[in-house]
Amino acid sequence: MNQSIVMIVRPGVAEEALAALGAEAERLRAAGSRVELRTTAEPGDGERLARAAADAGAQLIIAAGGDGTLNEVVNGLASASCRPRLAVVPLGTANDFANGLGIPSDVGGALSIALEGRPLDVDLPMVNDRYFINVSTGGFGAEATEQAPAESKRMLGAWAYLVTGAKQFADLRPVTGTIEAEGRVAHRGAFLLFAVGNARQTGGGSLLTPRAELNDGLLDLLVVRAVPRLDFLALLPDLRAGTHLESPDIVYAQTSSIVIRSDEEISVNADGEPMRGTEFRYRIGERPLVVMAPA
């Protein structure tokens, strides 16, 4: 099917992947589609390019990058007058959303799904005024994501988060605050981390919100209570595998809205993109996005 396609590509993509994207673009043009490649240069470019492409009538937007690129594109589409279909070519560090959806890591396989896959309505959550599509975390995991150096992520990939997380673990301390779900207190007091999931995995494959579904109209809330350092260390493998829900140190709920208030400023990320503050309000946006998924 001939269509108008815009590929939004993160900077620093490997030459082999960039060449594969270019070759596919030429093939599609030869078949009659209109295809444009746009490379981001600075933060916010992905959002601006996605919004402009949608408003200009693009039928398919392809986010070629990692979770950060995807988050910018999602925010651009969320504010556009018309929302085209969204597809992902995973070329980032962790690629949690793409991996959770089952999108292959090779450019050809991912583009095949972008063009011929199954359209899937996906909920679009918000934290304060920022949209996200995968998972938002605060506390221990968010600090590790925020402080992982860009050079480390380029060289080490997802291991960069583990290295930074190990450094954070040495200085582990709880956050004190209140977490509400649909206006009711889910946790009050000290906690080590929380996650709000639209999807299941984050941080390079950790299944923090293993019951989350992309289109159930609900947010999955995970809270890890403040526990001694060694107890938290023992819990980490279960958090990685998604087998932590029966632990007495875990609070887990599925809800339509969440409010988190901390006694001090904390780091929170949405799809890996950091923000800081003392109050974070979560809800599901009014309209879903259509994402191309494996058949």
pLDDT of the residue at 151? 46
pLDDT tens, position by position, 51-85 = 999 999 999 999 999 999 999 999 999 999 899 99
Task: Tell whether the model's pLDDT for residue 204 goes beyond 90.
Answer: no
Catalytic choice (246, 273, 279, 286):
273
Tell me the C-alpha distance between 146 and 188, whole Å. 25
**Residue 265: predicted pLDDT:** 95
Distance CA 6, CA 56 (A): 11
Question: For residue 276, what pLDDT band results from cuts at 50, 70 and 90?
Answer: very high
Nearest to 153 by CA among 272, 17, 239, 7: 272
Q: Grade residue 12 by pLDDT with cuts at 50, 70 and 90.
A: confident
Which of these CATH numbers, 3.30.420.40, 1.10.260.40, 3.20.20.60, 3.40.50.10330, describes 4-116? 3.40.50.10330
Instruction: Provide mean pLDDT across the span 224-232.
Output: 93
Radius of gyration of the chain (CA): 19
Q: Where are the domains of the chain?
A: 4-116, 130-284
pLDDT at residue 294 above 80?
Answer: yes
The residue-averaged pLDDT of 27-31 equals: 94
More confident residue, 140 or 146: 140
First to last CA, the chain: 17
Question: Does the CA dihedral 252-253-257-263 come out positive or negative?
Answer: negative
Q: What confidence score (pLDDT) does residue 155 get?
A: 40
Please, what's the largest Cα pairwise distance for the chain? Answer: 61
pLDDT for res 172: 79
pLDDT value at residue 167:
52
pLDDT at 149: 47
Tokens at 73, concatenated? 């594109």
Give, in words, the CATH class of 130-284: mainly beta
More confident site: 284 or 159: 284
pLDDT score recorded for residue 171: 66
| Predicted pLDDT of residue 158 | 45
Asked if pLDDT for residue 222 goes beyond 80, the answer is yes
H or E element in which residue 250 lies: strand 250-255
CA distance 124 to 60: 18
- pLDDT at residue 1 greater than cutoff 90: no
Band of the pLDDT at 286, cuts 50, 70, 90? confident
pLDDT of residue 164: 47
Residue 153: pLDDT above 50?
A: no
The lowest-confidence range among 77-81, 161-165, 203-207, 268-272 is 161-165
pLDDT at 156 over 60: no
Contacts for 100 with CB less than 8 Å, ≥ 6 apart: 134, 199, 200, 201
pLDDT at 273: 87
Active site residue 24: no
pLDDT grade, residue 203 (50/70/90)?
confident
Residue 81 confidence (pLDDT): 86
Helix (H) / strand (E) containing 18:
helix 15-30
